[in-house]
Amino acid sequence: ELGEVAASLDMRAYLVGGSVRDLLLNAQTQDVDIVVEGEAPVLARQLQARNPELQVSVHPSFGTATLSFPGGERLDLASSRVEHYPSPAALPRVESSGIQADLWRRDFTINAMAMHIHPERFGELLDPYHGATDLKERRIRVLHSLSFIEDPTRILRALRFELRLGFLMDAMSERLVRNAVHLDVFSQLSGARLWRELSYLLDLPHALALSDRLSELHLWPVLRGEPLADPARFRARVARAVDSLRWYRLLFRAAPEVAGWRLWIRVFWGDLDDARLRQRLREFQLPARELSAALSDVEKLRQARSRLLKPLDPWTRYQLLSPLSMEGLLALLSWDECEILQAQVSEFIQHQYDLRLPLSGKDLQALGIPRGPRIGELLAQLRRAVVEGHVTDRETAKQWIRQ
Ligand code: CTP
């Protein structure tokens, strides 16, 4: 219908970008992107007039509109356009254009295909830059040599598509990445934009491959503010963290989900010195809660780590580890190749992270202890008795209280 309405307005509409790529890959597509040669907001209004259940929000100054269907699906409509970059990495100036030029401004050939959706040519592929061949040959290729200079986030997008699809950049694109990194293009980019792209990468289940790729392309100094001090050791740590995450997810299927990206913040940046770590994570503009949780985890992890290289008594160990989040614990578990440390941390994760006391404050009152600070003190002592193994269930807890 969209194609017909567009045609009735004398506009041509095309499916573009990731939607075409995913369609050719037979993959699930997230958002559907449509480009029209004409005014997208006008088309959107016309569609809404014919389908009152559609929700439409238009952005006339960008020439775009978003249609939301009652089922929650979304469709983005944009007017075809070209962008001129007044200076590298600056926001572009936009002008309307035909579909060919619209495709030319895109990142990679596999994302620069369009499919006709107007009635007389429905389904026909428009592929001026041979994206279909690159899809078949599993290749990420930029359209022109300034692509990464104009938009450095595309370097991280290239890695994202490599890892997600199991593709590789062609030699030329990879050379252009190295060249752009050498020219320090990332310095033009805000930390928040850098983090946005990075967070997508950190969410993929390919952390070791990602880390290797970031090393090969000399991107660690950009992301960390300094090179890796000891690449082999760093890599071994990442490999252990991959195993730890897998172990945790297998063992605790019902446990609250740990977020991969939180673990990777701690593993990838956790060895920086305090000032640099703070500076980097601040630049990323993480939400305040995430920032303080990450900083606190790293601090606690460092304190715990050196002490856990030797066996500790259960209560000392508990006090060192209980302030850490699960992501922090998994980072610590992977920090060193040391069996004693690993045994102690995994013991804590399995048996003590989610420690529940056999008695509550109410139970203590029922046992005759008056309300007041004494209850809190007793609960703290009870916790210690449980950690040390003196109390194992409600009965032993009650006996312990009576003594
Ligand atoms: N695009 C680009 N340069 C960027 C970001 C996006 O050229 N820095 C273009 C690409 O053509 C891309 C389209 O805009 O296909 C839509 O971008 P986005 O939704 O971010 O990516 P998708 O390709 O749809 O990928 P995903 O499946 O991850 O959403």
Nearest CA to ligand 1 atom 18: 18
Answer yes or no: is the C-beta of 80 below 6 A from any ligand 1 atom: no
pLDDT at res. 30: 79
pLDDT at res. 94: 59
Ligand 1: nearest atom to the Cα of 200: 28
Which CB contacts under 8 angstroms, 24+ apart, belong to 181-190? 181/155, 181/217, 181/218, 181/219, 181/222, 183/149, 185/88, 185/89, 185/148, 185/149, 185/152, 185/155, 186/152, 186/222, 188/88, 188/89, 188/90, 188/152, 189/89, 189/152, 189/153
pLDDT at res. 403: 80
pLDDT at res. 116: 94
Ligand 1: nearest atom to the Cα of 19: 24
pLDDT at res. 321: 98
Answer yes or no: is the C-beta of 153 below 6 A from any ligand 1 atom: yes
Q: Which stretches in the chain have pLDDT values below 50? A: none
pLDDT at res. 49: 92
pLDDT at res. 9: 86
pLDDT at res. 356: 92
pLDDT at res. 93: 62
Residue 33 C-alpha to ligand 1 middle, in angstroms? 9
pLDDT at res. 252: 87
5-38 per-residue burial string, b: 16 or more CB within 10 A, e: under 16:
bbeeeebbbbbbbbbbbebbeeeeeeebbbbbbb
pLDDT at res. 151: 95
Please identify which residue in the block is written with the tokens 């499916």: 15
For 201-243, write each residue's pLDDT tens digit: 999 999 999 999 999 999 999 999 999 999 999 999 999 999 9
